[in-house]
């Protein structure tokens, strides 16, 4: 390639990153293809295809029963733990089928951590909560540094550095949730899944978790389920709207629209999205 | 369903329509004052502007409150943002009516030729029609109808250009020249009112389609 061609190619690359999508990195972490999840034969979610991008916050929104929590659980095989659950289609994680035969669900859950709605620290010390994962993995060297790093990343270090031996249950709800995030970070995941991470928290703790997401996406890929549409609007780069399809007699979750968050909240393409985000739903 | 929120949006729509009706009254008053050279009516038009301004401020405050409390999104957000603009355009149109009224009072007492009276009548009627079309298409979110404002605007622009030619044909009589100069500004006011109506039309298209675009380039 001549210098000129190289310069042109470089310029083209620069132009490819159009301003509209500059804030949404395009590297695909998850590639979901025609995913259907059944519980005891009934589809809870059907025919979902989408891509999750690296270093982005992706939010799933939708009414109760739309399958958004079912969907997020597919990303680290949490549905495996539910009897009668069956997954069809594929979830590719960096090109590899998460549901492939030789894939160990425990490794999956280390790479793809999860934070739940209600903070669920172990009834142990703050330190032990964070050290638990690394210890299980046999990562004994530099444990103190690892715990500190995880607590710093979760914006909790300054509040707990002098009381690491105290019970995690002595922390406030918001602090407990950040501890759970630190616990997830301590095993060096690539992705953090958050299922309603702030719904049990007060507005100030919620704001801290939201700020944290903005910080964490530099190093991690974040996927969040939220009931709070404004939260999705505030934190997410991409938003997927799920709805409930009742046409086949049952209640099946379907993906209605997936786009940049700004587009979802300013000019959604689908009437159902418009009705939901503007509060006309139901 | 957010019933209270929906009612607030409807109230906003209604308040804007009301403001539009006041602006049309103002325009009609300014036009009559101009044609009849009625200084008293001109004063009324000037005073009436406070009424329009009150509606303008009330709508703006309503939007401020609505944004703070209800966080509208999607079509609702586009509507609220468009109302913010349309509100300002209507207020500006009313200001042009005031300017016309002031020019009526400032102009030397010249009995205008039929030609000029007809020109004023034409421009005034076209401006009225444009405001009506702008308000109707906004109320019904009719982007197609809104775009017809471009053709209507062209008619006002042409009338304005013709008016300029008439004034240029005046002789050297200083009184007539001064009158002509004042009336050029009046003609320009009508022309600007048409531009604001087109701008309202562009906001209608934005609410309806989600895309903002100027109907014509900046030359109008």
- pLDDT average, residue stretch A242-257: 92
| Span B100-133, pLDDT tens digits | 999 999 998 888 888 888 999 999 999 999 999 9
| Span A193-247, pLDDT tens digits | 999 999 888 899 899 899 999 999 999 999 999 999 999 999 999 999 999 998 8
Tell me if B168 is assigned to some domain.
yes
Q: CATH number, domain at B63? A: 1.20.58.220
Q: CATH number, domain at A230? A: 3.40.50.300
Q: Is the pLDDT of residue A191 over 90?
A: yes
pLDDT for A80 equals 85
**pLDDT tier for residue A6 given thresholds of 50, 70 and 90:** low
**Which residues are paired to A60 by β-bridges?**
A225, A240
Tell me if B135 is assigned to some domain.
yes
Instruction: Enumerate the residues of chain B whose CB falls inside 8 A of the CB of residue A264.
Output: 74
Tell me if A17 is assigned to some domain.
no
Share of chain A above pLDDT 70, in %: 90
Domain boundaries, position B202: 3-209
Number of domains, chain B: 1
Number of domains, chain A: 1
Q: Is the pLDDT of residue A21 over 80?
A: no
- The residues near A101 (Cβ < 8 Å, ≥ 6 apart) are none
Tell me if B145 is assigned to some domain.
yes
List % helix, strand, coil for chain B (3-state, nearest 5). Answer: 85, 0, 15
Contacts 24+ apart (CB under 8 A), A140-146: A146/A186
| Span A163-188, pLDDT tens digits | 999 999 999 999 999 999 999 999 99
Tell me if A182 is assigned to some domain.
yes
Do A265 and B73 lie within an 8 Å CB cutoff?
Answer: yes
Question: Three-state DSSP class for B65?
Answer: helix
Tell me if B214 is assigned to some domain.
no
pLDDT for A20 equals 42
Q: What count of other Cβ atoms lies within 10 Å of the Cβ of residue A20?
A: 10
Q: Could you tell me how many helices (H) and strands (E) chain B has, helices first?
A: 7, 0
Which value, in Å, is the radius of gyration of the alpha carbons in chain B?
19
The CA distances from residue B22 to B27, B50, B123, in Å, are 9, 11, 19
Tell me if B136 is assigned to some domain.
yes
Query: Which of B6, B71, B210 has the CB atom closest to A266's CB atom?
Result: B210
Q: Is the pLDDT of residue A16 over 60?
A: no
Average pLDDT, chain B: 93
Do B5 and A279 lie within an 8 Å CB cutoff?
Answer: yes
Do A278 and B1 lie within an 8 Å CB cutoff?
Answer: no
Q: Along chain B (220 residues), what's the average pLDDT of each consecutive run of 10 residues?
A: 84 96 97 95 97 97 91 94 98 98 93 87 96 97 96 94 88 88 95 97 96 76
A20 vs B: CB within 8 A:
no
A161 vs B: CB within 8 A:
no
Tell me if A3 is assigned to some domain.
no
Q: Is the pLDDT of residue A61 over 90?
A: yes
Tell me if A141 is assigned to some domain.
yes
pLDDT for B149 equals 96
Q: What is the ipTM of this complex?
A: 0.72
Tell me if A9 is assigned to some domain.
no
Q: For residue B71, which phi and psi values (nearest 5 degrees)?
A: 40, 65
Q: Comparing A2-11, A34-43, A104-113, B210-219, which segment has the lowest mean pLDDT?
A: A2-11
Tell me if B114 is assigned to some domain.
yes
| Span B20-48, pLDDT tens digits | 999 999 999 999 999 999 999 999 999 99
Structure tokens at A158: 């300054």
For A:251-270, CB contacts with B below 8 A are: 264-268
Domain boundaries, position A270: 25-277
**pLDDT tier for residue A2 given thresholds of 50, 70 and 90:** low
Tell me if A186 is assigned to some domain.
yes
| B202 min Cα distance to partner chain A (Å) | 16
Specify whether the backbone of B37 is left (phi greater than 0), alpha (psi in -120 to 50) or beta: left
- pLDDT average, residue stretch A117-125: 94
pLDDT for A47 equals 96
Tell me if A122 is assigned to some domain.
yes
| B74 min Cα distance to partner chain A (Å) | 4
Residues of chain B whose C-beta is under 8 A from some C-beta in A? 1-2, 5-6, 71-78, 210-211
Tell me if A15 is assigned to some domain.
no
Q: Shortest CA distance to A280 belongs to which of B1, B70, B72?
A: B1
A97 vs B: CB within 8 A:
no
Contacts 24+ apart (CB under 8 A), A260-265: A260/A20, A260/A21, A260/A24, A261/A59, A261/A232, A261/A233, A261/A236, A261/A237, A264/A239, A264/B74, A265/A229, A265/A233, A265/A239, A265/B73, A265/B74, A265/B77
Tell me if B217 is assigned to some domain.
no
Query: Which of B6, B73, B210 has the CB atom closest to A277's CB atom?
Result: B73
Instruction: Enumerate the residues of chain B whose CB falls inside 8 A of the CB of residue A268.
Output: 74
């Amino acid at each position: 390639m001549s210098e000129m061609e190289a310069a042109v190619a470089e310029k083209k690359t620069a132009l490819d990153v159009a301003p509209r999508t500059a804030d949404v990195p395009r590297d695909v972490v998850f590639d979901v293809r025609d995913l259907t999840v059944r519980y005891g034969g009934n589809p809870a979610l059907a025919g979902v295809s989408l891509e999750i991008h690296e270093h982005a916050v992706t939010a799933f929104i939708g009414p109760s029963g739309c399958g958004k929590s079912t969907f997020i659980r597919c990303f680290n095989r949490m549905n495996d733990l539910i009897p009668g659950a069956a997954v069809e289609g594929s979830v590719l994680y960096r090109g590899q089928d998460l549901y492939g035969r030789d894939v160990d669900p425990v490794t999956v859950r280390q790479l793809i951590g999860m934070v739940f709605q209600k903070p669920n620290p172990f009834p142990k010390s703050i330190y032990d909560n964070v050290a638990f994962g690394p210890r299980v993995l046999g990562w004994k060297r530099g444990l103190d540094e690892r715990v500190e790093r995880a607590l710093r990343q979760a914006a909790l270090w300054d509040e707990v550095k002098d009381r690491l031996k105290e019970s995690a249950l002595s922390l406030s709800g918001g602090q407990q949730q950040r501890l759970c995030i630190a616990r997830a970070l301590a095993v060096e995941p690539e992705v953090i899944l958050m299922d309603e991470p702030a719904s049990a928290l007060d507005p100030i703790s919620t704001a801290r978790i939201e700020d944290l997401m903005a910080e964490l996406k530099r190093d991690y890929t974040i996927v969040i389920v939220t009931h709070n549409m404004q939260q999705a609007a505030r934190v997410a780069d991409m938003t997927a709207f799920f709805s409930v399809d009742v046409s086949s007699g049952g209640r099946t979750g379907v993906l209605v629209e997936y786009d940049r968050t700004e587009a979802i909240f300013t000019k959604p393409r689908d009437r159902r999205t418009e009705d939901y985000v503007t509060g006309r739903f139901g | 369903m957010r019933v209270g929120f929906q009612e607030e949006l409807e109230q906003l729509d209604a308040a804007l329509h009301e403001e539009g009706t006041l602006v049309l009254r103002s325009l009609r008053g300014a036009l009559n004052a101009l044609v009849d050279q009625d200084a008293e009516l001109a004063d009324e038009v000037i005073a009436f502007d406070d009424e329009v301004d009150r509606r303008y401020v009330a709508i703006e405050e309503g939007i401020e409150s609505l944004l703070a409390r209800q966080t509208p999104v999607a079509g609702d957000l586009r509507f609220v943002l468009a109302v913010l603009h349309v509100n300002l355009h209507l207020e500006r149109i009313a200001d042009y009516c005031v300017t016309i009224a002031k020019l009526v009072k400032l102009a030397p007492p010249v009995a205008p030729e039929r030609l000029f009276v007809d020109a004023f009548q034409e421009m005034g009627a076209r401006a009225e029609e444009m405001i009506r079309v702008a308000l109707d298409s906004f109320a019904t979110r009719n982007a197609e109808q809104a775009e017809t404002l471009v053709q209507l605007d062209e008619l006002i622009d042409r009338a304005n250009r013709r008016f300029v030619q008439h004034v240029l044909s005046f002789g050297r009589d200083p009184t007539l020249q001064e009158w002509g100069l004042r009336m050029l500004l009046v003609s320009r006011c009508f022309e600007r009112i048409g531009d604001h109506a087109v701008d309202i039309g562009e906001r209608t298209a934005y609410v309806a389609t989600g895309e903002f675009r100027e109907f014509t380039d900046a030359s109008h």
